[in-house]
Structure formats: C-alpha cells, structure tokens
Chain A
Amino acid sequence: MSSQNGFYRFTGTDDYIVSPSLVDAVNCAIALERPLLIKGEPGTGKTLLAENVASALGMPMESWHIKSTSKASEGLYVYDTVQRLNDARFGDGDVSDIRRYIHYGPLGRSFSAEERTVLLIDEIDKADLEFPNDLLLELDQMRFTVMETGDEVAARERPVVIITSNNERELPDAFLRRCVFHFIEFPERELMQKIVAVHHDNLDSKLLDQVLIKFYWLREQNDLRKKPSTSELIDWISALLKSGISQDQLESHIPFMAALLKNEQDSEALSRYDDRGGELPTQWSDLGPRYNQ
C-alpha cells in the first residue's frame, strides 16, 4: 500500500492476490468513504479481503459477524442492565453512572476509535430482512446516539466499511444505493495460478496444470450441488503434496476427493462417473475454449 497525496491506495498484499477491478472498487470505496459491498461465491475470499485491506493500509480492524438473530442496535452498543442491577444489589461500583454499563459493539468501537479503522460486516444477508435498513443512517452519517445517556458517538475518521454478502437474500435498494459494489468473479486460470503460488510456491508447473485441469473440469460439471471453490482447491493441493502424489497418478483419477466435494450426493455422482469408465481431462484443450485463450 502507499499513501499518495493523502489518498490511501490499496494494491493487494503478498499473500492475497486481487483482480484489477477489485482494486479499483476498494480504492473507490476508500476515497469516497462509502461502504464497499462485496458479493461472490463462497470461498472466493470475501472475508479475507477486509483483513488484507486492514493490514495493507496499516489500520486496525473491527469485525462483526452477522447471525440470523443479529440486531442492528447490537452493532452500536449494548446496555448491560443485568450487571447494573447486580451491582446495585451488592453495592459494587457506581451504579449511577450508566456509561459504565454501555458496551460498544463493533460499529460503536470503530466510530469512537482514535484512528481510521477497517470495519468488516460479514455476511449481512444472514440477518433479518430489515437489518440493512436499520443501519442506513448510521453508515451514512457514521454517528449515533446512545439513548440511555444521550451521548453522541461520531466517527472522527470515517472507517473503511467492507460488507460481504452471500446472496442468500436480496438487500434493500436504499441500502444498495449507498454502497460501492463489487462482485468477486471466480478466478480464471491465470489468476488462479497466482493465487495457488502464494500458498504453494514450489509446486511443479506440470503438476499444477493437472490439478487445475481437474479442478476446472469439476466446476464445469453441472450436476454438482456445491462447486469446489478456491479455498477447497488450496486444501486439496496441500493434501496432494503431503501424500507425494505424482503427476501421472493425477492424470487418470482424482484422489482425496473429500477435500473438494463436501456433499455426499456430489461424491457419489462422481464415483458413478468413475465406475462407468468416464474419462477425465488431461490437458487444457479437453476443456472448453474459455480455458484456452
């Protein structure tokens, strides 16, 4: 990263490869101080992006992992009434000071931080339908009021907000309007080679070819319920390397299938294909023109 003319510029890190369009989207969001909404297939590194933006820009990170029960107000603060009640009963501390019982959530912490932070709101689509709408004002103005004390928390430095979504439900238009949007495409052959190199740098190039051919072929199979993604590919390569499998062995079958296919029906479908004597591709030209530019 570099900071030119007062602008932060994100360019990816050594262990996180980004596509040029993602770099542009991240920088756009940073410069405009708008939330960045990231969508994409599971396993394409949406969550990792926030960590890497934080480390590249040298900012501390706050993350908020959304669950189906998450409420917007929890991200701002929680008022611990039970503790206060308890303290009142046993005479511990000053119960008249409500501030002692206000605990900031991730949003509250990043707004009140001294320096600019990266705030990750992970899997926003997991929450209730109205959840994004409840956060509109806070994300727009980067300020909120603690009801119990009347204190206003306003961000001195607007945090870099990165929001991820798995597309489980659609987000409201008003919310989308305020975001910079990026869709992480599934990496193509060339980018994938770079990504793999970050994790396994001493991989034999012919072996890597075989691995990727099998991997992309699997992804092309339409009857798979859950297509293997980048993270599964990395795990699979680790398994292959540990077992010391050779390139020839890889040509005819796919070992350690369990690392790639996480769904029982998918594994069965593939073993049936194998039993029928179905052929596996061994070179790039066996795949579609998409892989042979």
Chain B
Amino acid sequence: MFLDLFYGLRKAGVPVALQEWRMLLESLEQGMHACSLLHFYHLSRACLVKSEVWFDAFDSVFAEVFEGVEGALDIENEVMEWLRDPKAAKQLTAEQLAELERLTHSELMKRFLETLAEQDERHDGGGRWVGTGGRSPYGHGGVHPTGIRVGGPGRNRSAMKVAEERRFRDYRTDQTLDLRQTRVALRRLRNLTRSGNASELDLDETIDETCRNGGEIELVFRPPKRNNVRLLLLMDVGGTMDPYYEPVSKLLTALHEERGIRDFRAYYFHNCIYEQVYKTARLAASDAVPTGELFRMLNERWKVLVVGDAAMHPAELLQSYGNIDPRVVSETPGIDWLHRISAHFNRSVWLNPDDKRYWDQTQTTRVIRRTFPMFQLSVDGISEAVQALIGARVQA
C-alpha cells in the first residue's frame, strides 16, 4: 500500500525519487507518524513533496491510495457544495481566462464530458484525478477551487478529509515546472565588465603596491564586475500568439526575475511592428510609443529579443498600410521597420514559438528569417538565442 503511494506519485508526475522515499521510511522508523493517518499524511507530504505546486497531485494520490482506511466519503454533499457556490466565475485569473478563450466549442464540450466522466469515477470510489491539471476550464469555472468541503463539520479533521479537500489546487501551475531551466539558459546573457565605483579591494594589486611602497600599506580598489547587458524585448501578443501563452509567460517571468541584466525593457505589438509599439500587452492607444523613439532612446549596444510567431498575411508584412489594426494607419510596410530595427541594433534575434519544422511553410516567416536569426522558443532555443546575442556573430 505504501509503495502504491510512491508509484502513484511518480505516475502523477510528482518528482519523487528514492532519496525522498528513504527519508520518509527513516522518519517512520523513528515512529514520527505516531500511528495516526493524519500524522502520516503530514509526514509523507513533508518528506516526499518539495513544492506546493505538487500538493494538489499529492492530495489526489493520497486520497486514492488510502481511501477506505478511514471510511467512505460523502460525495453528495461535496457535489452540492460545488453547485451552490456562486462565486466560481469570479475566481478566474487573467491567465485562466486566456486559456478559456482559445477553446473552441467542440473542445469545450469534449473537456466538459471528460470532466463529467472523471466525477463519475470518483463517485464510484476510485477517482483517477491524477494529472488533470488544475487549469481545466471546468476545474476552475465549474468548481470553486477552494470551496470544496467534504461533509461534516470540519473541526476534527481527518487525513482523508484534508487530502480530499484539495486545498492546494490554486498552487498547481504546471507552467512553473521548467522555469528554472529557462532561467539557467538566460543566465548566460551576460557580459561582465568592471564599471562604476571602485568598491572592491584588489588584493593582489594591493600587495604589489604595498611592496613597491616599502611596506607602507597602499590599498587598491577596483570596480566590481557587473553585467553590462541591456535587453529590449519586443513581443507579439494576441491572435495567433494566444496558444503560446504558457511558454511565452514562462520566458517573461524568467526575464523579469533575472536581476543580472543591467537594464530591461519590454514593448508589445500585434503581428508585426509598425510606427508604434506599446508599453502594455493591452495595446491601448495611450500606451503607444513611436518605434522611432526606441532608436533615439536606446543605443546600438542594446540586445534585441523579438518574440513572435512571424506568421501573418503577407500584406501585413510587405505592403504599405498593411497594419491589421484598423485604428492605426501605417504607411511604412512592417518589413521596413524590422529592417530598421535589425540595422540599428548590433545584435537582435527572433524567438519563434512555432515548431521549427513549419517555419518554411509560411511566407512571412521565411522573409523575416532573412533579417533576424530565428530560434525556437524552447529551453535549447533560448540558449542558442542567448549565444547569438552574446557570442560570436551568427549569420541570419
């Protein structure tokens, strides 16, 4: 039964290995569980799960494995509780909304049926709740994430009830999973130079100078090493980019948290860059910044990272007045603006979330690849893009 828990967790994608398992066994040997399922629940969670992201998956597996140990669950009540909850719709975050929007009607129906099927299974007493991901539209829309209550006044909580409550659904964001890899890839985006105030003691130089000075101490300071990279991010939002919300937001999160970069600015556009870029992803007219202004404000040493799928109607890229946004009149074709950007800045790259295999099938992607070195938006692709921004020059 205990091994079921271990393999159940692994099956659910929770990263547990022998080391964690041994830790749990060790604690059991010491009698830490005090022969109580609740203590055991706490212990096994503390030993096996190392991030709140996985708490929800852990709860489901635990509930499944140890179901029946403490008696059956009152499912009827729980379902009623879900239905009664009026606040469900408000609980959607912008991210979840974005998820919702891109589902077609048939997809939505399919998902709904799947969800129903799962609830049935659970009702029957098995419950394959593993790996459904807390982000299914019905998981959040139809069910209050934290409003689930298993019958009975929850004063003396038993482990089953705590596990069944699945209070950690909100923390389940699968997108954070390989954020670290992305960050490690971005770490290489640096160019260390000594600049600024001389605040670091140069020991070797101090000893040399002191000797030269006949033993009279001569302290020598130097400026500390700093990352001198300034990064300009230009990002395509909306339309065909919507399905790529996750990888793109991962990249954004990693970039925003990367404190090593000396200066970082992000501007947004839709499909192609024309006379204006926008300070926010809403692309409101009030947030507009003339693209020419970027050339004035930012010198050629800024590194440019364009994120976009480069797939659009050829006219949007190549013709005058090609802007798809009817509110803005764009006399200059988008391709000219792209040329200007690549000409102004020494290094610029394009990250494309589309699969590399399909790049050549889109005419506009082929054209843009002639101007910008293009890399796929993946951990490896980011590494290569960083290399192209920092390392030896790569031909477009």
Contact surface of A with B, Cβ cutoff 8 Å = 7, 20-21, 24-25, 27-29, 31-32, 34, 37, 39, 68, 81-82, 85-86, 89, 129, 168-170, 172-173, 176-183, 185, 222, 288-290, 293
Contacts and interface: CB of A to CB of B under 8 A. Distances in A.
Interface of B: 15, 17, 19-20, 23, 26-27, 30, 32, 38-39, 41-43, 45-47, 49-52, 55, 81, 84-85, 87, 90-91, 93, 144, 146-147, 149, 153-154, 167-168, 171, 176, 179-180, 183-184, 187, 201, 203, 206-207, 210, 215-217, 219, 257, 259
A21 B42 contact: yes
A181 B38 contact: no
Task: Determine which residue in A172, A180, A293 has the highest number of CB atoms from chain B within 10 A of its CB, and name it.
Answer: A180
Contacts of B46: 21, 24-25, 28-29, 180-182
A67 to B, nearest CB: 12
Contacts of B146: 290
A288 B87 contact: yes
Contact of A176 (B51, B176, B184): B51
B87 A293 contact: no
Contact of B91 (A25, A129, A222): A222
Contacts of B154: 293
B187 A170 contact: no
A1 B84 CA distance: 44
B32 A31 contact: yes
B257 A288 contact: no
B187 A129 contact: yes
A68 B46 CA distance: 28
Contacts, number: 105
Secondary structure of the B contact surface, majority rule: helix
Contacts of B257: 168-169
Contact of B52 (A7, A129, A183, A293): A183
Nearest to A289: B147
Nearest to A68: B259
B282 to A, nearest CB: 15
A262 to B, nearest CB: 20
Contact of B153 (A21, A129, A289, A293): A293
B390 to A, nearest CB: 17
Contacts of A182: 46
Given A31-B32, A180-B23, A85 B149 contact: no
The 6 closest A-B pairs by CB, nearest first: A24-B42, A176-B50, A183-B52, A25-B46, A170-B180, A21-B42
Contacts of B153: 293
Given A24-B42, A28-B32, A289 B93 contact: no
Contacts of A183: 52, 55, 168, 171
A81 B17 contact: no
Given A85-B206, A89-B215, A222-B93, A288 B43 contact: no
Contacts of A288: 85, 87, 144, 147
18 contacts: A20-B38, A21-B45, A24-B46, A25-B43, A28-B42, A31-B27, A32-B26, A32-B30, A34-B23, A39-B52, A68-B259, A89-B215, A169-B180, A181-B47, A181-B49, A182-B46, A288-B147, A290-B146
Contacts of B216: 89
A8 to B, nearest CB: 12
Nearest to B81: A289
A24 B32 contact: yes
A176 B259 CA distance: 23
Among A25, A27, A86, A222, the one with the most B-chain Cβ atoms within 10 Å of its Cβ is: A27
A25 B42 contact: yes
A24 to B, nearest CB: 4
A89 B217 contact: yes
Contacts of A169: 180, 183, 257
Q: Which of A7, A89, A289 has the most CB of B within 10 A?
A: A289
Given A31-B32, A289-B81, A290-B146, A180 B15 contact: no
Nearest to A25: B46
Given A20-B42, A32-B30, 4 more contacts: A21-B41, A28-B27, A169-B183, A185-B167
A86 B257 CA distance: 41
Nearest to A29: B46
Nearest to A36: B46
A37 B42 contact: no
A29 B23 CA distance: 10
Nearest to B206: A85
A34 B27 CA distance: 11
A24 B85 CA distance: 33
Contacts of B51: 39, 176, 181
Nearest to A178: B19
Contacts of A37: 50
Contacts of A172: 180
Contacts of A170: 176, 179-180, 183
